[in-house]
Chain A
Amino acid sequence: MSHTAEAHHDDHHDAPTGIKRWLFATNHKDIGTMYLVFSLVLFFIGGAMAMVIRAELFQPGLQFVDPGFFNQMTTMHALMMIFGAVMPAFVGLANWMVPLMVGAPDMALPRMNNWSFWILPVAFSLLLSTLFMPGGSPAGGWTMYPPLVMQTGDAFPFLIFSVHLMGMSSIMGAINIVVTIMNMRAPGMSLLKMPLFVWTWLITAYLLILAMPVLAGAVTMLLTDEYFGTSFFNAGGGGDPLMFQHVFWFFGHPEVYIMILPAFGIVSQIIPTFARKPLFGYDSMVYATASIAFLSFIVWAHHMFTVGMPLAGQLFFMFSTMLIAVPTGVKVFNWMTTMWKGSMTFETPMLFAFGFLFLFTIGGFSGLMLGITPADFQYHDTYFVVAHFHYVLVPGAVFAIMAGVYFWLPKWTGHMYNEKLGKLHFWLSAIFVNVTFFPQHFVGLAGMPRRIPDYATQFADFNMISSIGAFVFGASQLLFVYIVWSCVRGGEKATQQVWEGAEGLEWTVPSPAPHHTFEVAPEVK
């Protein structure tokens, strides 16, 4: 097929069919769909691992799994969720929506777009295959701290290379998004007219380009330390195990904002739509996003307060960490004010946006508490931290993704989803996410360390509640799959605008959006 290029490139673009449509895809919508489906699958795999964790923690004593396997589950759960579920979901949404929002015919680099997706299944097959290897999967935590991670068996090089591949995929995806946004906007779409989802993704893409290669470097050093005798993380040779932590978190902290900034963007689209009122403080939202992104590069060592850094370092990282609350606060206050004097309805996307607003803020508060160094000496590596990051990740990032999916599903499929079931899904999720993760604050403060398969009996009650919450929360997600599936299959026809208060280019095209949307660039006033 190497002469596809000369074959009627300027004909009407017919949609290819069959397996080739997916394998050879260059259409942003097809690729977006593949990303989203992939992410859903990985969400379930990662979720199933979380279920193993919660089942073992249901009561004290070891009931089901060996402690070594438990650590494998913890490690793989996090890798699946972060690199397999949340990040690809956001890239999928960007693929679908960014060209529609800026009035472009497609992504700027369509072939590379395909490659960035198809690297992911390779990366995760390699990683998941380690479950069946002698010695099992990586079990050193998703943070891969040496020297422990060096004790990984045959899975070790697979872990390293799959991280390399995930990095390649993310970098290519990010470059594509940056170029699309900077080069493909319709005439008249100036930077400060772009929808906030586009803005937050632009900034996220910069974070990805700057952060992912650093992770690649860090794991490369692990590889050479293990196999080629280098001493980066070995004190005897003049290195330091902590050096890895610094390099890792230099990537890792921006990474957590990579997982939240697009979520901010989605929420910033949804709240104005259902409040029937433009976003309050658009400019300051953009500046706040940029400030968060900048700050995210100078706070990394708040993950390592207990490693014994010099005092000056600890103080610096404490202060810079606290500062992040300011731009994040600006965002929260802007959303709050957008709703003020609005005219609100509560369809499922809006409900999820609300869930996000409340629960992310709670997670932000616990983040702030963790940022206070002396207090972190008590919190660090306990379930308080686990509670913190699940609040920002599950009702934060994941809820925002679900809000986005409900919000745009009619645009993608041309059908309305089942609103009743959507609301049921929201309420089940919102209630049981709290049942799962709120008690973890308590056991964490009471002294339960994270990453343990078994615990002292005084933590039993809250762990049981948490496990029950997790089972119901997990089961509720089956509902989500059903809703999406039946919406794809059929349902009430969606209008062009879909939502009464919706504004923006993407709502000016038919639902479902045609295969190539803006073949002729629209004019933006």
Chain B
Amino acid sequence: MRERFRRFIPSAVRGVIVFLLAIPAALADWEVNLMEGVTPISRDTFELHMIIFWVCVVIAVVVFGVIIYSLYAFRHSRGAVPDTSMLHSTKMEIVWTIIPIGILVAMAIPAAETLIRIEDTRSPDLTIKVTGYQWKWHYEYLGAPDDAFVKNNFGFFSNIDAASNAARQVDSGIDVYEIEHYLRNVDKRVVVPVNRKVRILLTSNDVLHAWWVPELGGKRDAIPGFVNEMWFLAEEPGVYRGQCAELCGRDHGFMPIVVEVQSEDDFARWVTEQGGAAGGGPEVVVDAGGAMTTADSGDGGAGSSAAVDMDMSFDELMTRGEAAYLTNCSACHQPNGQGLEVGGFPALAGSAIATGDLAAHVDQVLNGKPGTAMASFAYLSDADIAAIITYERNAWGNDTGEMIQPADIKAAR
């Protein structure tokens, strides 16, 4: 038994080495290594990563090699006699201080160069303001009349897609492998032109988030009250996926990012579509508490102006309401309206507000409840809010039979 163990040690060590050596072979496969990505920055970063990696491997081989050799050669059981005169050697100390310093300096130079390039956010071709919310992203394309692509501001929210959202509920019973791009899909993508310097202005509405698409290179934190800058220049059209990378509460794992890189023509076409519908997106303003809310410039925000003056039928409201509820509210109040006790999220089924005074209900949604996770949802369109409220008042046994129209919401703002 003892013998077997003894023989096992070197072979185990050898096993580890083989394992380590096998890594580079698998490195090409993106599941075990950094993605090389499609931007100059991501490629530089990748190169840097590989350099450090190999430097570490070489040092590891030397250091571990010596140790493993000693393990083998200087064993008591092989009759090794300790050389107790070996106490120190200034020469060696100097050598193994200087050599690492040299290696580090050699690594620091390209790293510093890359870093300086990353931080240069000047003269972009397109600027997008990205705002993190619990738990979705808001994108606002900042336009200017003389801008090549975007003449006027427009914006939209991007939520996790409905299929992933349904599948990711605890015990949903849905096979997540059946969902395309499970957790990495959104209901509305960010679109950018190929080969253009895109600047991201990053901020947050509530807590910290971080915007990260690995193939575009690097991440940056979204900080409430401050704007961070980053940029990328995607060299290949395609769809690139990432997700929020800073803990932001319960649904941190469920705020994906999808960027679609298109040819300039396609992009221009897309902008026109958006611009027509948006006509001036929501503007972020700051209230006295320092928290930012999104005031509506009057027409009810993204893609909804048409609905404002029109009365909607009960069924219309309920259908739209369910969808909008699932997107905006179910993270906390749950799809079944039962809320979540552990998070302190109240049930809306049978809730005093959702079955009681209509005005109080509207107020809760428009203004939120300061000091709690219940934020203001005033940035939603009038139609969405009306639909959500109607839905909440009639779903899950809240059979109040009451409904409210977008115009009433507009009046209540």
Contacts and interface: CB of A to CB of B under 8 A. Distances in A.
Interface of A: 60-69, 71, 134-136, 139-141, 145, 147-148, 151, 153, 231, 234-237, 240-242, 275-278, 280-284, 306-308, 311, 314-315, 318-319, 322-323, 325-326, 329-330, 332-333, 336-337, 339-346, 354, 357-358, 361-362, 365, 368-369, 372-375, 377-378, 380-382, 420, 423, 427, 431, 434, 441-442, 445-447, 449, 451-458, 461-462
Contacts of A427: 5, 8, 12
Contact of B344 (A134, A241, A284): A134
Contacts of B28: none
Contacts of B286: 236
22 contacts: A134-B341, A234-B290, A236-B291, A277-B86, A280-B87, A282-B88, A283-B88, A306-B210, A307-B223, A311-B115, A311-B116, A311-B119, A326-B101, A341-B83, A342-B82, A361-B63, A374-B115, A377-B45, A378-B219, A434-B16, A449-B253, A457-B176
Given A375-B45, A452-B252, A148 B52 contact: no
B63 A332 contact: yes
A281 B112 CA distance: 34
Contacts of A151: 207, 249, 373
Contacts of A339: 67, 70-71, 74
Q: Is chain A's interface secondary structure helix, strand, loop, or mixed overall?
A: helix
Contact of A240 (B66, B225, B247, B252): B225
B86 A341 contact: yes
Nearest to A384: B34
A395 to B, nearest CB: 12
Contacts of B59: 365
A145 B88 contact: no
Contacts of A362: 60
Interface stretch (B89-97, B351-359, B376-384): B89-97
Contact of B170 (A65, A306, A368): A65
A434 B107 CA distance: 28
Closest 10 CB pairs of A and B: A236-B290, A235-B225, A452-B253, A377-B218, A308-B228, A341-B83, A365-B56, A442-B32, A148-B207, A277-B82
A457 B182 contact: yes
Nearest to B211: A306
A345 B229 CA distance: 57
Nearest to A452: B253
Given A277-B83, A382-B245, A458-B31, A147 B206 contact: yes
Nearest to A364: B56
Interface residues of B, number: 113
A336 B63 contact: yes
Contacts of B170: 62-66
B49 interface: yes
Given A275-B82, A333-B96, A375-B111, A281 B88 contact: yes
A336 B89 CA distance: 14
B290 to A, nearest CB: 2
A336 B84 contact: no
B64 to A, nearest CB: 7
B408 to A, nearest CB: 31
A29 B244 CA distance: 49
Contacts of A375: 45, 48-49, 52, 111
B243 A449 contact: yes
Given A61-B167, A306-B219, A330-B96, A148 B249 contact: yes
Nearest to A357: B67
Given A151-B207, A235-B290, A318 B86 contact: no
Interface in B94-142: 96-97, 100-101, 104, 107-108, 111-112, 114-116, 118-119
B344 A153 contact: yes
Contacts of B67: 336, 339, 354, 357-358
A454 B183 contact: yes
B329 interface: no
Contact of A343 (B12, B76, B92, B167): B76
Interface string B30-67: 11111100000110110011001100100110011011
A342 B74 contact: yes
A282 B217 contact: no
A419 to B, nearest CB: 10
A378 B214 contact: yes
B86 A361 contact: no
Contacts of B1: 420
Interface in B165-223: 167-172, 174-177, 181-184, 206-208, 210, 212, 214, 217-221, 223
B246 interface: yes
Given A145-B208, A278-B84, A451-B252, A322 B221 contact: no
Contacts of A319: 108
B289 interface: yes
Nearest to B77: A345
B247 A71 contact: yes
A369 B49 contact: yes
Nearest to B177: A457
